[in-house]
Structure 1
Amino acid sequence: MMRIGYYAHHHGSGHCRQIDKLAALLPIQKRQQLTVFTSLAPEAYAFTAIDEQQIVRLYLEDERIDDVLKGRAGEYWQPASLHYSPIGNADIQKRSHQILNTIVQRNIDLMIIDVSVEVAMLCRTASIPYLYVRLPGLRDDMPHIDAFAGALALLAPYPQAIEAAMTPRWVCQKTVYLDFINLTKNNTSSHQDFIKTLTTLTADHPNVSPSFATKPIITVVKGYGGHEAIDAKLPELRRLLPSAFIISLGPIDNDMRAYVDIATHVEDVTPFMHHSDYLLMACGLNAVAQAYYCATPLVVLPDERPHQEQATMAQALIDQGRALSWEQFVHSMNAESTSAYPTKTTSVQTQDTLEDDRSSFSQNAYLSKAQVLMDSIITYSTTKSWFNEWLLPQLELRPEA
């Protein structure tokens, strides 16, 4: 088996979650060959498939008061291939040493970078082979293009079907699409079980009517990377559907609690995704991976992110017919009679179409591409043989001889 290093960016927990999901596809005894590099604090994400001794907690890369040059010093003081490059930053110097020293000490064969063009360039200049995780969004700036060009290949943790139309052709040709990597088990709870769950959640809310079993159920899912924009829609959501039972999962501003029936946190959002009549959520990769194959109509409210990451994902879902924008949702609700309740029959996709999607991208199918990748890592012992015999046949590009 090749020894793999995985760089997980510290913004949010999603990058660490991705390698945790990939590691879970390996036999337990093989997972010890993985090393995770991250600046994310241990309390920010609890790994389930990776032990702490496999994690290298990197120095932060924040600017320091004693930097010779700040990280973005302008056109004539900053390389075009980097987004952020302070000079004289002791923490980044130590961080770079941590990465390179660990790669040598642990005989790491291949790095997977999720995501950092600076770490990509560090690996390329040190002659270390790497794969680059390509997230949705407009990433056509020079640093990203150079990081893509320097990689052996690109990994996309989403289906090719929702690739943005503006993505350069060569980038698609160099990409291995893993589809959504989602280890959540198929929902086995019934609608009756779900109603029992809601009954339990409302037990401590005497002002909540127990008649939610006969009302349309709207679930609003929010993460911890930013929820204010979705919260701001709650008053209009209540106006549109005054009789609906509205559930808010995740953080919520106190002044918005009056517009929902329940505001809570749950360990598993899967039953809510399957048994609600509408699902409102942002377009984070992990959340979309869970919701994509549910029959529940999806309304996307993308958060502002660098490179329009969530906006691009949202538009791809809308273009594919898998989701409604907020504007489309408002229009459809205003077009309904005041007594009409939204149901799954109003989904933007017909049930037959969604079933076709499930046939093409069933849980086993969309896990299999990630599984095949991880199995190939087990099969080959050298990066060169893996690159020539397994990776290149997956791509539509070839390097020059």
Structure 2
Amino acid sequence: MRIGYYAHHHGSGHCRQADKLAALLSPELRQQMTVFTSLPADGYRFSSINDEHIVRLDAEDERPDDVLAGRAGEYWQPSCLHYSPVGNKDIQRRSWQLLDEIHQRQIDLMIIDVSAEVAMLCRTASVPYLYVRLAGERDDAPHLNAFAGALGLLAPYPKVLEAAATPDWVRQKTLYLDFLPSKAQGLPSFCEFMDELMTLTHDDAIHKQLVASVDKSFIVTVIKGYGGHEAIDAKLPKLRQILPDAIIVSLGPINDEVRHCVDIAAHVDDVTPFIAYSHLLLMACGLNAIAQAYDYATPLIVLPDVRPHREQEVMAEALIEQGRALSWPQFIAKASSMDSQNLLSSLSTNNKSIDHEQTALMSKQANLAAQRFMNSIADYISVKDWFQDWLLPQLDLKPKK
């Protein structure tokens, strides 16, 4: 089947998810997948999808000449849409562009990640689609309509992290793909990781501490993106107070006024070695970040960013309920009852002898669901046959005839 993937332009995460799915296909079958997005070319660099299979859509921002604003209120806002300006020339062009490209490229099935408006456009145009469900409480009318209009729903996270409030019919209609695999990169040895840390600072005192850290000190890594690093930065003074002797590494942006609270502040291309070899992680609950950390034994403190539909809060609650993470208040409570050395020892099971081969195997097994899904798309020519013979048995559902 020829697949179209609509990737929302807020952040690079949606394009990254499309890239991860495409990577599960053989190189020749990747030519059957087209990505539609408004994200500029410099917003994300695809590794599994060629430029000729990426359609850059017009923006959908409000314009001063719109007849009605995107959220015009009770008497003008359709309940099935989150955002729908009227008379917006850009949205008119992108809608025509989207449908025309679907027609010209003979797209059989769309995957929508995420947009209630694109979902309704496809359903109205009789284009079959699957809808990507992100974490959080998405029980508003536009989301529920987008879910109902889909052939099925895709959740790029494990079922155990599902929100408690999710309706039963939504759960049943969902194919849980677990966390999608990132592009495979070899994990360096612990010694190689320590050598990398050495290159990230010119401070001789920290160099000496790093040499000693192999046996004595603890490494705490704080991972941040650009979507809300201020909230995590605000916790750094308290973190330093609690762990005065730890080596604290900040990855990503950092405010100047708290730079003194960390030993190393840097930007790196791959955070995986830091996740694998740190004794403690502090991070938000974005989907891609949690997907990277989930299968490692490193203790995790979660500080969810404020997002629509409690997206990160719900993910954090599920991780805490599983015992996979601590909240910041839980960490503070633990810290108040013991000294810093005993605190890190009580939290950490991590050291350089962790069986990372077993971790990689667990991750590979967890990704079998996504691989089976992509294999099914490659195996079928007809959407109808795939829907009836493969998807419906997976969901144990049957629509009315």
Relative to the length of structure 1, the TM-score reads 0.94
Q: Structure 1, residues 331-356: CA drift from partner, whole Å, max 9, x if none?
A: 1122112553513x525x999xx99x
Distance, in Å, in 2 between the alignment partners of 1:359 and 1:189 is 14
Aligned-residue offset at 1:25: 0.7
Aligned-residue offset at 1:186: 7.3
Q: Does 1:244 align with 2:242?
A: no
Secondary structure of the residue that 1:12 maps to in structure 2?
A: coil
Moved more, 139-148 or 189-198: 189-198
Distance, in Å, in 2 between the alignment partners of 1:105 and 1:185 is 34
Match of 1:70 in 2: 69
8 Å CA contact retained: 2:8, 2:115: yes
Equivalent position to 1:295, from 294, 297, 310 = 297
Q: Structure 1, residues 228-267: CA drift from partner, whole Å, max 9, x if none?
A: 1111110111111111110000111111111100000111
Secondary structure of the residue that 2:35 maps to in structure 1?
A: strand
Secondary structure of the residue that 1:37 maps to in structure 2?
A: strand
Distance, in Å, in 2 between the alignment partners of 1:257 and 1:350 is 26
Query: Which amino acid counterpart does residue 240 of structure 1 have in structure 2?
Result: I
Distance, in Å, in 2 between the alignment partners of 1:321 and 1:338 is 21
8 Å CA contact retained: 2:279, 2:350: no
Match of 1:373 in 2: 373
Query: Which amino acid counterpart does residue 209 of structure 2 have in structure 1?
Result: S
Does the C-alpha gap of structure 1 residues 186 and 293 become closer, same or farther in structure 2, counting only changes over 3 Å? farther
Does the C-alpha gap of structure 1 residues 234 and 85 become closer, same or farther in structure 2, counting only changes over 3 Å? same
Match of 1:135 in 2: 134
Distance, in Å, in 1 between the alignment partners of 2:340 and 2:176 is 44
Query: Which amino acid counterpart does residue 306 of structure 1 have in structure 2?
Result: P
8 Å CA contact retained: 1:71, 1:85: yes
Query: Which amino acid counterpart does residue 218 of structure 1 have in structure 2?
Result: V
Q: Structure 1, residues 89-109: CA drift from partner, whole Å, max 9, x if none?
A: 000000000110001101100
8 Å CA contact retained: 1:170, 1:397: no
Match of 2:208 in 1: 210
Q: Structure 1, residues 166-217: CA drift from partner, whole Å, max 9, x if none?
A: 1101100000000000235476433222222212222x23453521313111
Match of 2:274 in 1: 272
Distance, in Å, in 2 between the alignment partners of 1:224 and 1:361 is 31
Does the C-alpha gap of structure 1 residues 396 and 386 become closer, same or farther in structure 2, counting only changes over 3 Å? same
8 Å CA contact retained: 1:184, 1:290: no
Aligned-residue offset at 1:162: 1.2
Match of 2:388 in 1: 388
Does the C-alpha gap of structure 1 residues 184 and 26 become closer, same or farther in structure 2, counting only changes over 3 Å? closer
In structure 2, runs of 5+ residues without a counterpart are: none
Does the C-alpha gap of structure 1 residues 193 and 373 become closer, same or farther in structure 2, counting only changes over 3 Å? same
Distance, in Å, in 1 between the alignment partners of 2:207 and 2:182 is 35
Secondary structure of the residue that 1:362 maps to in structure 2?
A: helix
8 Å CA contact retained: 2:278, 2:350: no
What is the aligned residue count? 393
Distance, in Å, in 2 between the alignment partners of 1:350 and 1:73 is 53
Distance, in Å, in 2 between the alignment partners of 1:380 and 1:159 is 25
Distance, in Å, in 1 between the alignment partners of 2:269 and 2:360 is 29
Match of 1:147 in 2: 146
Q: Structure 1, residues 351-379: CA drift from partner, whole Å, max 9, x if none?
A: 9xx99xx7998122122111111111111
Q: Does 1:46 align with 2:45?
A: yes
Distance, in Å, in 1 between the alignment partners of 2:52 and 2:187 is 35
Aligned-residue offset at 1:127: 0.5
8 Å CA contact retained: 2:220, 2:248: yes
Secondary structure of the residue that 2:367 maps to in structure 1?
A: helix
1:1-400 to structure 2, matched below 5 A, reads: 2-185=1-184, 188-202=187-201, 204-206=202-204, 208-212=206-210, 213=213, 214-340=216-342, 342-343=344-345, 346-347=347-348, 362-400=362-400
Q: Structure 1, residues 271-325: CA drift from partner, whole Å, max 9, x if none?
A: 1101111000000111101100111001101011111100000000001110000
Q: Structure 1, residues 129-184: CA drift from partner, whole Å, max 9, x if none?
A: 00000000010000000000000000000000111111101100000000000235
In structure 1, runs of 5+ residues without a counterpart are: none
Distance, in Å, in 1 between the alignment partners of 2:168 and 2:262 is 45
8 Å CA contact retained: 1:187, 1:274: no
Distance, in Å, in 2 between the alignment partners of 1:370 and 1:128 is 23
Does the C-alpha gap of structure 1 residues 187 and 32 become closer, same or farther in structure 2, counting only changes over 3 Å? closer
Relative to the length of structure 2, the TM-score reads 0.94
Identity score, percent: 60
Q: Structure 1, residues 106-127: CA drift from partner, whole Å, max 9, x if none?
A: 1100000000000000000000
Query: Which amino acid counterpart does residue 382 of structure 2 have in structure 1?
Result: T
Distance, in Å, in 1 between the alignment partners of 2:259 and 2:92 is 46
8 Å CA contact retained: 1:10, 1:39: yes
Query: Which amino acid counterpart does residue 241 of structure 1 have in structure 2?
Result: L
Distance, in Å, in 1 between the alignment partners of 2:16 and 2:318 is 23
8 Å CA contact retained: 2:6, 2:110: yes
